[in-house]
Structure 1
Amino acid sequence: MANFYVNTTEVVHKLPNNDRPKFYMFGVPSYTNMGDQAVSLAERKYIENEFPEYQYIEIIEEDDDYAIPIVQEHLQPSDIIAFTGGGNMGNLYHNHEEARRKVFSTFVNNLTISFPQSIHFENNEDGEIEKQKSQEAYRK
């Protein structure tokens, strides 16, 4: 029997209140690109297998801004902050890059992980400006 399905049965609007450390995954896609969906599922399975003591919490990309202050309120030193992987780091998909910058420049006191990305900053003025903004955010 294959073990590759997602067994999520409900959307929860409150963060769990328990003693388990949390693994917050920001930028989870809700759109229908199957490649990005597969990346997200693989990340989830990896985290659940490699960090079984952590409670995995997905934050879909359109809720990133709303979720940041809520996560900040509940954040513990042992919690991990991550941003989903894929192919959207750079200046081709501004909204994804701006969300990633905001997450990494906000959660500076916890371990932060960017899952593997394709990176492309165009070789023009906009690409250079956006690359500098990203470098500044990720240095934090």
Structure 2
Amino acid sequence: MEAQELHRGRLIDHLQLVVRDLAASRTFYSAVFDALNVPMGGTAEDYFWADELFVSTADSVAAQGHLTGRHHLAFQAQDRAMVDAFYKAALAHGGTDNGAPGERAYHPGYYAAFVLDPDGNNIEAVFHGDAQRSAASVKITF
């Protein structure tokens, strides 16, 4: 059996969302990222990106001309207050409520909020609680 180290918070390498209205999405995600203390990485006429999220128009070369449809995406928050700030920022900048901030039954300490972005993607901010956050890495045996 092989032991591998799993680093929490880096499971996903990157995501790309293809959206109908890039300006509306840029407004929405800029506000959400500000609430989560995530800097915008870069912008151009047909895309923007932050950390491992890339958002583009359908006619961007990277999108291959197709809308991606509805997706679920969860951002990590540092604490409950950051989840609350995410929710308020999202609703104030074009998001729609899809689950107010609160405890969820996924595991003890799971505190999250859900909104739909301007294209209907289900966007979540989650704080896993102090017990989960203190486990920066775990060993897994296969």
Normalised by the length of structure 1, the TM-score is 0.26
Bigger relative contact order (CA 8 A; separation at least 6): 2
Q: Which has the higher strand share?
A: 2
Larger Cα Rg: Structure 1 or Structure 2?
Answer: 2
Normalised by the length of structure 2, the TM-score is 0.26
